[in-house]
Structure 1
Amino acid sequence: MRRPTIMNAERQLFWDGCFNTRDLGGLRTADGRETRRGAVVRSDDPAGLTAEGWTSLQRHGVRTIVDLTGGDSSTAQRPAGLTGVAVELDDHSDTEFWTRWDNALSCTPLYYRAFLDRFPQKVAEVLTAIAAAEPGGVLVHCSSGRDRTGLISLVLLAAVGVGASDIAADYALTHVRRAELCAAAGLPDDTPRVHGLIAEHGTSESEVIADAVGSRDMAAYLRSAGVTAEHLAALRDRMLT
């Protein structure tokens, strides 16, 4: 019998100045292994971390920060000993794609499968950065830690064998602290709008994520996009117990 995955609440990290941070460890894989705690953390922008928050990040073992916005926004605040890697995941020069997947839809997982089809090299660039990171934990983030970070987390977890239901449950955890994150930015919580847009398309959040995960063999997808066999092996070594 497949053992239940680790309690979601145990994976949430409370670092002062970040509002949507959790460890991707403790998730079961199809071959009976488990993702390693401290290997990869997903988060909103760490530029808001206080000194206490940065200390918590370092104590958790993070040594590399991958910024999916391409701006490496935490540079000024980042303590010594942390490496920053900036990868701009979204290629907005592709106006045809972004006209189809406008700002509202790209704030939902509805666009994930289309993004994987359109931008495999961008996805491969991020996964290679994670694989090639120095020893220690890797923090992957965008602005809110939901959409771009959610997409990369989906690919990473699927590539090492985590099932769609656990990936969807991880994505859903973003909503738990979303109201707090939005309030800190002086904005209303947009979670109800996200759920409304998905419902308008006749589906659910978990179904959309399961469709994206099941649409391809993620390890084969990464290989075809340019991730080397060595880097795929490094991802598995980093991520799995």
Structure 2
Amino acid sequence: MGELRTHGVRTVIDLRRPCEYTGDVPDDIRLVRVDLDGDERDFWDPIELNGRWGTPLYYLAHIRDLPHRLAEVLRAIATADDGAVLFHCGAGWDRTGLVAAVLLRVLDVTDDAATADYLVSFANADAMARLHGRSFDVEERHEVLARFGHTAESAFRSMYGDLELDEWFGISGIDDETRVVIDTWRGSVTRSRSAPTRTC
């Protein structure tokens, strides 16, 4: 827990489902819980049936069909206390990967750099398993991706290349102020463009 303070973390955003909640954070660090998955069965049943959960193969559909879920996360980031924001799920390549991909795309981070960032979670899978004392089903994820003609790298790279956010921001219900905060990474980056002003 001391490492959170060392890295300047003032807010932790837990992206897991309520049934997964474990642990806590120090009293001087804000904990925000946002269920990124949700329980919209019409969405999740086919994805769980064919195994795409836990892979980038469902990211674009999630962003399109459940825009309110991601919007809640971005609002939590935008309204977090001053200081670093840490967001996490269980393994790091699923829900965390989705949010990270969106934040990187906002800044037009290159496909190569974003993909390399995503793959770090797979490289750290064994260490995560030892730390938590349980398997994160890495081989199963690889097998699922292979069934769809992908590796972890190609699945993320393909998704990231098709990740268009301007239209999503228009339908997400996110206000202009939040959009600017996200566009500038909480004011840490100067952007050449600002969020569009809606007239509706």
TM-score (norm 2): 0.82
Q: Counterpart of 1:55?
A: 2
Residues 105-132 of structure 1 show CA distances to partners (whole Å, capped at 9, x for unaligned) of 2122111122112111111110111011
Match of 1:200 among 147, 162, 176: 147
**1:171 match: secondary structure:** helix
Report matched runs for 1:52-201 at 5 Å.
Answer: 54-71=1-18, 73=21, 77-92=24-39, 94-102=40-48, 104-188=51-135, 190-201=137-148
SS of the equivalent of 2:60 reads helix
Contact 2:13 2:86 in 1 (8 A): yes
Give 1:189 deviation, angstroms. 5.3
Aligned residues: 186
Aligned-partner SS, 1:65: strand
- Identity of matched residues, %: 31
Shift of 1:237: 4.3
Aligned to 2:53, the other structure's residue is in SS state helix
Q: Deviations over 1:210-234 (max 9, x none)?
A: 3322324324423421222211211
> Structure 1: how far apart are the matches of 2:116 and 2:59?
16
Q: Structure 2: give runs of 5+ residues left out of the alignment.
A: 191-200
Where 1:106 maps in the other structure, the secondary structure is: coil
Deviation at 1:192, TM superposition (A): 2.4
Q: Deviations over 1:74-95 (max 9, x none)?
A: 6x64212111111111121x22
| 3-state SS in 2 of match to 1:90 | coil
Counterpart residue identity of residue 99, structure 2:
I
SS at 1:231 equivalent: helix
Distance 1:146-1:237 versus aligned 2 partners, 3 A rule = closer
- Tell me if structure 1 keeps the 8 A contact 2:60–2:163: no
Call closer, same or farther: CA 1:77–1:86 in 2, change over 3 Å: closer
**How far apart in 2 are the matches of 1:127 and 1:192?**
31
How do 1:7-46 residues align onto structure 2 when only pairs under 5 Å count? none
The 3 A distance-change label for structure 1 pair 189 and 88 is closer
**Displacement after TM superposition at 1:141 (Å):** 0.8
Partner deviation per Cα, 1:14-59 (whole Å, 9 max, x = no partner): xxxxxxxxxxxxxxxxxxxxxxxxxxxxxxxxxxxxxxxx111111
CA distance in 1, matches of 2:21, 2:133: 20
Distance in 2, Cα, partners of 1:219 & 1:136? 27
Q: How does 1:218-229 map to 2 (within 5 A)?
A: 218-229=165-176
What are structure 1's unaligned runs of at least 5 residues?
1-53
